[in-house]
Amino acid sequence: MRELAGIVALLAGLWLTAAEAGFRTPESLVRNVYAYYGEGAPELSRGLPRDDATARQFFDPPLRQAWSAPRTEPYDFLVQSPSWKLGPVAIAILRKEYDKTYVAANFDNHGRPVTLNFILVNGPEGWLITDVESPHDSLRMFLEQFRN
C-alpha cells in the first residue's frame, strides 16, 4: 500500500512539474503571454516577467537563458514598444510544420497595429516558444543584440 501511495505521489509531482512548464494549446500559450500586458492587477500589468520560473513556463530551453539574462532594451519586443495600451489580441494558427506551429498575434498598441508570429514547439513540457518574429526582427536576435 505504501508503494502505491509513493507511486501516486511521484506521478502527481511529475504532472505538476509538467503543468508548470508549457501550455496545452498554442493559442493558450500566446493568450497567457498577453495576459501580462493588461490594465488589471499590478503583477499582471508589467509585461512578461524576466525571472527563471517564467522563462521555464513560456520558452524552450535555448531561449530561457536569453529571456532571463540581464540586459538593457529600448523596448519590449512582445509589444514592439517601451509602453503599452493594447487593444484586443487576435490569435490564429498560421501553419503547422513538422514539430513547429506558427501562430499569429495581431493587436493595436496605442492605436498602432502590431503583428507578431510566434514559433512554438510541443514537447513533454507542453507548448513552448522557440522564437517570435516581427516584420523586421526575431526575439532571439533582439535579445542577443541587447545582451549586457
Whether this prediction's pTM lies above 0.75 is answered by: yes
Least confident of 15-19, 81-85, 115-119, 123-127: 15-19
Q: What pLDDT score does 40 carry?
A: 67
- Band of residue 72 on the pLDDT scale cut at 50, 70, 90: confident
Three-class SS of the chain: CHHHHHHHHHHHHHHHHHHHCCECCHHHHHHHHHHHHCCCCHHHCCCCCCCHHHHHHHECHHHHHHHHCCECCCCECCCCECCCCECCCEEEEEEEECCEEEEEEEEEECCEEEEEEEEEEEECCEEEEEEEECCCCEHHHHHHHCEC
CB 61 within 8 A of CB 137: no
User: What's the mean per-residue pLDDT of the chain?
Assistant: 85
Q: Is 146 exposed, middle or buried (0-12, 13-18, 19+ CB in 10 A)?
A: middle
Average pLDDT over residues 39-51: 80
CA-angle at 58, arms to 97 and 25, nearest 5°: 50
